[in-house]
Amino acid sequence: METLEILFGGKVRIRLMRQFLLNPDKIYDAKTAAVVCRGKVREVSHELVALAKAGLIKRKFYFKELGDKRVRTIGWTLNGSFLFLTQLRNLLANNILLRVHDIAKRLSRGGTLKLVVLAGVFLQQWEARVDLLVVGEKLKKGILERIIASLESEIGRELHYVLLERVEFEYRLNVSDRLVRDIFDYPHHVLLNKLGIKA
């Protein structure tokens, strides 16, 4: 079991906390939160009440679209005035960085990887254009997308990622493609580099 799971009471609570901390403007009802956190609605509802009691989140009414109707629903959103907001966000975000080698290992099931670069949310650069770059040969995009969806659930935030075959990446690198420049010109962390790229 992961250290934070032990300290904070389980995977679902950690995933919920990350979800709220890294998406401060979103409102979640129990069903939506359960889907995003890959938990059971009953367990998630219990955790939402506990997090509200601690002051991390607060109740908020909003209108949810159900077919052609708008239904008033009770949701939960981040309490922006929570006393330990910055410290908790940093703790949970730093924990992501401690497991970067696990990320590379998981991604390796998606083909012959040549380059893996972390940026954005992995380095607490919340407004970055790209969070993850994966370059390889014979990439299995379906498998990689499922692995990334699993990472998104654990991290608590949608990842902006780019999957490129080696040939396309080398072409983009040679023509100074803006997307590639945005990754390498800003803070990034190279997990795997079998292309000899100076990063």
Pick the CATH number of 99-193 from 3.30.450, 3.30.460, 3.40.190, 3.30.420: 3.30.460
Write out pLDDT tens, residues 92-120: 766 666 566 688 889 999 999 999 999 98
Using the predicted structure, report yes or no on whether residue 8 has a pLDDT greater than 70. Answer: yes
Same CATH fold assignment for domains 3-94 and 99-193: no
Per-residue pLDDT of 35-58, as tens digits, reads 888 889 999 999 999 999 989 999
Cα–Cα dist 130/120, whole Å: 6
Task: Note the pLDDT tens digit of each residue in 13-25.
Answer: 888 888 898 888 8
Class of domain 3-94: mainly alpha
Residue boundaries of the structural domains of the chain: 3-94, 99-193
Strand order in the sheet with 161-165: 161-165, 132-137, 112-119, 188-193
pTM greater than the 0.75 cutoff: no
Residue 67 phi/psi, 5-degree rounding, is 70, -120
Please say whether the beta carbons of 116 and 131 come within 8 A. no
